[in-house]
Structure 1
């Protein structure tokens, strides 16, 4: 008979793991896995605050207390580096964003039994959890869910739509995809919904691309105090708190650099903070984001020069990189294999690498270390509270 074993850590996907490698769903470090497969809760086992936990795919770790989640966030980064043979000079304490701080999300809505169901999907399923409470979303976003439910309840026939919400300077930006709108009555209902809920913008995508139908004034997000135009669907760090932690780390690490290249710059999340003390080249492939960054830089007077360039197909070459005192890169989840290869051939003294995927980051880190860089420090950030999604900021020095 299998003996009782203590849960010693949290695995990558959120299961608890014993010292002998057995996995147990919804187990926290310090719990005891009993011979019959049940759990005896330990000191780090928490009572999940949300009624939907266990079915909703938005959270995986509500059964764990904050210290064990912080440890998990740090270990994910450390294990990823170790798997590639990369030594971390200093692993800083993980930063965790608080509950109800997430400022962007994608919800799903469908008709079920003649009534609308709105929420996140179940883990590994297309089924939608009908959200009645949420402990991760900003209250301004969650407050819109009942209004959306009422709007969709008036619809006839079946529907399955995606709803993107983002909190901007002007309020909630709401983008709805795959919702056909026909006739004056449906159009007026949408406009009334936007007006009554004081939306910053309402955008519809009926298969021909997003089209704003309500936008009383241009929608912006403030980055380091600079209002930047926010194209519908643009990338925005999940929490303002997490963004501040990442930006604060890279700004501290790159202090003294006079000229910095910000690669995969997006709207300028890191360009504008860095431009407080340096000249910044902000390189981005998405045209809408590039133009928003360029326009904001012109209005603000910050020393940010925006360049439109696809760094996957056309990465900056070593001779171009040689003009910079430091480079910051914040690529998509797949990492930046080609651009990192060019950085490895360069003489850039400092590289700050921000990542939302420890695995692709560790692969790229190994390439830089092989080329003579030293991984000086890493700051893990858990801005998706109670999630297995990890972000980090790191500093490489040649």
Structure 2
């Protein structure tokens, strides 16, 4: 047994000691003991705890892999996440105003993917254990919205019906205006009896919609999501911001970043999280690579009232980014790419000198890379708003405001 001092938290929430050693469920400044195995510590024991160590609010924390830092105080976790963003920017020589973090409350997650498996006595469903394919049942989860917890029972029933003997069913459950929107994957191939059984289950469990391997099996009620004045019926399993609180925090930041822009493009627009609310005050062109999302966004806009013109375009922005001659007429761009960032698109935005850019990111590292491209092209990074809607996890969201005066626009920095 040897003793080690935890120097800092890593990007995945593990404590890091000299070596380096990566030690889960530890905090900076703590002295821990254990037996070194590679870069891990076996039989770890906390010798000197941190003043920021707290009792985890969830009884499943030590076994479940859904959360990483419930053992740390809210202040420590908030500071750590802001520091991750600060460090990513500093690696590119960038500094800016990092606003106080916006953290979603406990039991507010409205979307989760459960793992479900058949057992000799029936089925079980939950989340995976830490760094494992073992399923941990989580009846008292402190992360998920109480109305979402019923998805565990749904996942169990789906596993009984359609999971293979050795396989694990992935069941994505999303809260919508009319209940639970459920999409299952990795199960048995659809046949007549399975299709009938799934349709009956959708009715018996009063689900809004049930999809299997991407195919909608039954819809009892429209699985609607509201974005501003519009109601959207997304394709099964579609991305949605993790919490209503987090979505509002990001939308508020985006509105501030684009100011009074009258002509906006929303790139990587999804089903309209930003495009539809922004169309209440500006003309919007929404671009997304998924045709189903674009169709849902367009239908939602057409059914709403009081919105300005909105156009949609299905386009893979990684292979075919919007070019300067398409961007020159815009006052602002909203950019919300996947974790890989938007390197090629950002290069084109820099060439076009779009006056305002609201950049929403779920990866501080790729955001900082793209931010450097914009700053090198003459943009000013005014501020970054860090948003923690994946409470107690290592995930970080942010929104940022960039402007350039290379193109005369008459825009100011006022918010809506």
The alignment's TM-score, normalised by the length of structure 1, stands at: 0.91
Structure 2, gaps ≥5 residues long: 35-43, 405-416
Structure 1, gaps ≥5 residues long: none
Task: State the 1:221 CA deviation.
Answer: 0.6
Aligned partners of 2:154, 2:232: CA distance in 1, in Å?
28
Match of 1:32 among 30, 33, 41: 30
> CA, structure 1 residues 228+154, in 2 after alignment: closer, same or farther (shift >3 Å)?
closer
Q: Deviations over 1:231-261 (max 9, x none)?
A: 1121111111100000001102212111111
Match of 2:302 in 1: 298
Task: State the 1:4 CA deviation.
Answer: 7.1
Task: State the 1:120 CA deviation.
Answer: 1.5
SS at match of 1:92: strand
For the pair 1:132 / 2:131, whether they are aligned, the reply is: no
Aligned partners of 1:16, 1:232: CA distance in 2, in Å?
37
Q: Judge conservation of contact 1:9–1:72 (CA < 8 Å) in 2.
A: no
For the pair 1:121 / 2:119, whether they are aligned, the reply is: no
Task: State the 1:367 CA deviation.
Answer: 0.9
- How many residue pairs get matched? 390
Aligned partners of 1:332, 1:325: CA distance in 2, in Å?
23
Aligned partners of 2:144, 2:33: CA distance in 1, in Å?
38
Aligned partners of 1:21, 1:157: CA distance in 2, in Å?
41
Aligned partners of 2:10, 2:116: CA distance in 1, in Å?
31
Q: Judge conservation of contact 1:24–1:33 (CA < 8 Å) in 2.
A: no
Aligned partners of 2:225, 2:256: CA distance in 1, in Å?
23
Q: Judge conservation of contact 1:297–1:305 (CA < 8 Å) in 2.
A: no
Match of 1:44 among 38, 41, 52: 52
Q: Judge conservation of contact 2:163–2:169 (CA < 8 Å) in 1.
A: no
Match of 2:82 in 1: 74
Aligned partners of 1:270, 1:154: CA distance in 2, in Å?
38
Match of 2:400 in 1: 394
Aligned partners of 2:169, 2:3: CA distance in 1, in Å?
48
Match of 2:14 in 1: 15
Q: Deviations over 1:345-376 (max 9, x none)?
A: 11211111000111111111111111111111
Match of 1:377 among 383, 390, 395: 383
For the pair 1:144 / 2:151, whether they are aligned, the reply is: yes
Q: Judge conservation of contact 1:101–1:138 (CA < 8 Å) in 2.
A: yes
> CA, structure 1 residues 362+161, in 2 after alignment: closer, same or farther (shift >3 Å)?
same
The alignment's TM-score, normalised by the length of structure 2, stands at: 0.87
SS at match of 1:123: coil
Q: Judge conservation of contact 1:255–1:277 (CA < 8 Å) in 2.
A: no
* Counterparts of residues 330-349 of structure 1 (less than 5 Å): 330-349=336-355
Match of 1:251 in 2: 255
Aligned partners of 2:53, 2:350: CA distance in 1, in Å?
44
Task: State the 1:284 CA deviation.
Answer: 1.2
Q: Judge conservation of contact 1:9–1:28 (CA < 8 Å) in 2.
A: yes
> CA, structure 1 residues 370+8, in 2 after alignment: closer, same or farther (shift >3 Å)?
same
> CA, structure 1 residues 3+322, in 2 after alignment: closer, same or farther (shift >3 Å)?
same
Match of 2:227 in 1: 223
For the pair 1:204 / 2:212, whether they are aligned, the reply is: yes
Task: State the 1:147 CA deviation.
Answer: 4.4
Aligned partners of 2:229, 2:87: CA distance in 1, in Å?
36
* Counterparts of residues 236-385 of structure 1 (less than 5 Å): 236-301=240-305, 302-303=307-308, 304-385=310-391
Match of 1:110 in 2: 117
Q: Judge conservation of contact 1:28–1:68 (CA < 8 Å) in 2.
A: no
Q: Judge conservation of contact 1:55–1:123 (CA < 8 Å) in 2.
A: yes
